[in-house]
Amino acid sequence: MINVIEKIQSTGGKTAFSFELLPPLKGNSLDGVYYTIDTLREFDPKYINITTHRSELVYRKKPDGSSELIAHRNRPGTVAIAAAIQHKYNIPVVPHIICSGFTKEETEYALIDLQILGINNLLLLRGDKGKHEEVYTPVGHRYATDLQGQVNRFNQGFFLDGTEMNVAMQPFSYGMACYPEKHSEAPDLESDLKYAKMKVDAGADYLVTQMFFDNQKYYDFVEKCREAGIHVPIIPGIKPITLMSQLTVLPKIFHTHIPDELAEALRVCKTDEEAVEVGVEWCIRQAKDLIAHGVPSIHFYSLMATESVKRVAQAAY
């Protein structure tokens, strides 16, 4: 299977397009996932990311009004969704492998399953903390770099218990995350950069950024990365705003600055439909500017924004 970097480089200099999908809640069909792909495939996505969610505690109300915990997972596995998509569309998939909520052994079995399915591209992440957690509490690996160590060892042909594989496998190619405006838990950008460099030195083929709304933050970050000796592609991740509430929610959750002009335009919106229009216009401007700067690829955070991403791609590509 061709890897993400080869796919991006196969465009003859044109900026590549990718987007991501969220596995549906347990008990639901994949129709929503397929709808997103059917809507966006005309833009020739070079690959599709499949997000992974840590355990989500599911409660049921009891007749006496109290709640009982009935499950720890609420979505089907990313491995299965990734396989279904690759099988149906023959577009490379990039499942997210996360530390959070998964034991090292569960991760190993996901890697084995992916090998069997011929899926060799991954995005390695720590994962978010659970809604029920005050702070991130690892059950397996603490940091994405620890998970990377496990994948690297697997790529060398070794299991967690030190035993060697009997068959040659196709090593995983993988990307990892980076933060133009620093990760929310990092003391400063320099510390974050140190870990980004560690990821690349240990084998990450590329980095994908957290969403940002001010392209200058991305350009400055790329420059700092290059100065720090990080020379892999740094794929910008952008998202069209779709809700008025994202004006306050996104900076809080993702430590992402909303530029004054965008904030002002959102503040005067009276409905989410108006916010969608503002979000699309802003994202088109961002995408056009990134393309003009010759970025190798743009990754769209398309969750709950399929129609908006379609409009952005139509206008910018």
264 binds ligand FAD (CB under 6 A): no
DSSP percent split of the chain into helix, strand, coil, nearest 5: 40, 15, 40
Instruction: Give CA–CA dist 303/317, Å, rounded.
Output: 20
143 binds ligand FAD (CB under 6 A): yes
Interface region with ligand FAD, contact rule CB under 6 A, candidates 8-16, 30-38, 113-121, 126-134: 126-134
φ, ψ at 60 (rounded to 5°) = -120, 140
CB closer to ligand FAD, 143 vs 281: 143
Residues that bind ligand FAD (rule: CB under 6 A) add up to a total of 23
CB closer to ligand FAD, 188 vs 227: 188
210 binds ligand FAD (CB under 6 A): yes
What minimum distance in Å lies between the beta carbon of 63 and ligand FAD?
Answer: 34
What minimum distance in Å lies between the beta carbon of 126 and ligand FAD?
Answer: 3
- For every residue of 175-221, DSSP letters joined together read EEEE-TT--TT-SSHHHHHHHHHHHHHTT-SEEEEEE-S-HHHHHHH
Paired residues of 208 in beta bridges: 177, 235
Classified as helix, coil or strand, 59 is strand
Instruction: Give CA–CA dist 142/154, Å, rounded.
Output: 18
51 binds ligand FAD (CB under 6 A): yes
CB 161 within 8 A of CB 105: no
CB 196 within 8 A of CB 221: no
137 binds ligand FAD (CB under 6 A): no
What minimum distance in Å lies between the beta carbon of 286 and ligand FAD?
Answer: 16
85 binds ligand FAD (CB under 6 A): no
CB atoms within 10 A of CB 34: 15
Instruction: Give CA–CA dist 179/231, Å, rounded.
Output: 16
Kindly tell me which residue out of 192, 200, 278, 282 binds ligand FAD, with binding defined by CB under 6 A. Answer: 192
Instruction: Give CA–CA dist 46/91, Å, rounded.
Output: 7
Instruction: Give CA–CA dist 168/42, Å, rounded.
Output: 36
Interface region with ligand FAD, contact rule CB under 6 A, candidates 49-57, 157-165, 241-249, 264-272: 49-57
239 binds ligand FAD (CB under 6 A): no
Site string for ligand FAD, 92-121 (x = CB under 6 A): ----x-x-x---------------------
Site string for ligand FAD, 276-315 (x = CB under 6 A): ----------------------------------------
52 binds ligand FAD (CB under 6 A): yes
CB 210 within 8 A of CB 256: yes
- Binding residues (CB under 6 A) for ligand FAD: these are 51-52, 54, 96, 98, 100, 125-128, 143-145, 177, 183, 185-186, 191-192, 195, 208, 210, 237
